[in-house]
């Protein structure tokens, strides 16, 4: 299987593809680019906004609004006029960190990780925006927090990229994440595990940074399928469309100095049609 470009626009670090069934939009972000982009799945038309802050993750809200996890914290953005409102600051006392990947849990709460922007990458944390507007730290001791996926409301697959594992945790409705149930060692596959999503059979579709591929793995770690890329750095993926049979994949540029030419599609959004059905992304429950 091989994915094809879905958008000619290139980002230094495309991330966070998220399907909004209510609007028919596929959203994604450029982290250092400070960009939010979206694609109309039906027509293929794309648009975007320049952001005043660096985003790390997003979740669809209501009426064309988007919840962003940014370097300031959790904030609500209106895509119609570009205005945003900070809902809750996150780690305001730590200027050397940023948000990196996140998603809404089955209860509609936004969960996103933080990581240091300088070495050592050793004290990242996973935070959850609670319904009352407070922020709870639910997991610590992370280096580069990345993909999250819930096969059941009380289970969480999680990737801390440098470990080259995919960890399955208990996920209580309230309180911190854990304990650890089991881990899938993916160090035998080229590259580093980054973002991921689940299909309808609860198989994991995982983007491998510097691996030029998205791999589909069973919950026990058996390799089922591989989507190959003409670029080395796929970053994350999600299923989209009315029947959730299109896989969209974000990528990063190989270097930030390469020009925008058809010969180098790195940093573009890709798509793979007619896939196995996926599981829907959870919207934010305001």
- pTM attached to this predicted model: 0.95
Q: What angle do CA 136, 140, 145 make, to 5 degrees?
A: 100
- Specify the residue for token string 């890709």: 270
Choose among 56, 136, 163, 150: nearest CA to 106: 150
| Rounded to 5°, angle at Cα 7 from 43 and 34 | 115
DSSP string, 229-253: -SSS-EEEEEEESTTS-EEEEEEB-
What per-residue confidence (pLDDT) applies to 89? 97
pLDDT tens track, the chain, 286 positions: 889 999 999 999 999 999 999 999 999 999 999 999 999 999 999 999 999 999 999 999 988 899 999 999 999 999 999 999 999 999 988 888 999 999 999 999 999 999 988 777 778 999 999 999 999 999 999 999 999 999 999 999 999 999 999 999 999 999 999 999 999 999 999 999 999 999 999 999 999 999 999 999 999 999 999 999 999 999 999 999 999 999 999 999 976 555 556 578 999 999 999 999 999 999 999 8
Are 135 and 69 a contacting pair, CB within 8 Å? no
What pLDDT score does 259 carry?
56
Alpha-carbon gap, residue 229 to 216, rounded angstroms: 14
Take residue 132 and report the two structure tokens written for it: 């009352």
Check residue 262 and give its pLDDT. Answer: 59
pLDDT value, residue 244: 98
Strand order in the sheet with 124-129: 97-104, 110-116, 124-129, 135-142
The structural domains of the chain, with segments of one domain joined by +, span 4-272
Report the pLDDT value the prediction gives residue 64, as an integer from 0 to 100: 83
Is 199 an annotated catalytic residue?
no
Task: Domain 4-272: give its CATH architecture.
Answer: 6 Propeller (2.120)
Question: What is the pLDDT at residue 178?
Answer: 95
Catalytic residue among 7, 20, 105, 194: 194
């Amino acid at each position: 299987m091989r994915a094809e470009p879905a958008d000619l626009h290139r980002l230094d670090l495309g991330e966070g593809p998220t399907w909004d069934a209510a609007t028919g939009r596929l959203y994604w972000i450029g982290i250092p680019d400070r960009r939010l982009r979206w694609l109309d799945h039906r027509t293929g038309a794309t648009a975007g906004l320049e952001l005043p802050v660096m985003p790390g993750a997003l979740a669809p809200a209501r009426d064309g609004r988007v919840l962003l996890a940014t370097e300031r914290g959790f904030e609500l953005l209106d895509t119609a006029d570009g205005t945003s409102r900070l809902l809750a600051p996150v780690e305001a006392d730590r200027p050397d960190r940023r948000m990196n990947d996140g998603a809404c849990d089955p209860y509609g709460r936004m969960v996103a990780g933080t990581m240091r922007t300088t070495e050592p990458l050793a004290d990242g944390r996973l935070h959850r925006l609670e319904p009352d507007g407070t922020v709870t730290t639910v997991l610590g001791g992370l280096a580069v927090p990345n993909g999250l996926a819930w096969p059941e409301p009380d289970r969480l697959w999680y990737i801390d990229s440098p470990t080259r594992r995919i960890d399955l945790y208990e996920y209580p409705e309230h309180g911190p994440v854990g304990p650890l149930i089991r881990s899938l060692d993916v160090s035998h596959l080229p590259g580093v595990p980054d973002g991921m999503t689940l299909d309808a059979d609860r198989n994991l579709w995982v983007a491998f940074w510097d691996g030029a591929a998205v791999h589909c793995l069973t919950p026990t770690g058996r390799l089922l399928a591989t989507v190959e890329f003409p670029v080395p750095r796929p970053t994350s993926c999600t299923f989209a469309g009315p029947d959730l049979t299109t896989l969209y994949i974000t990528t990063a540029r190989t270097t930030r100095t390469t020009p925008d030419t058809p010969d180098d599609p790195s940093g573009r959004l890709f798509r793979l049609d007619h896939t196995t059905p996926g599981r829907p992304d959870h919207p934010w429950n305001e």
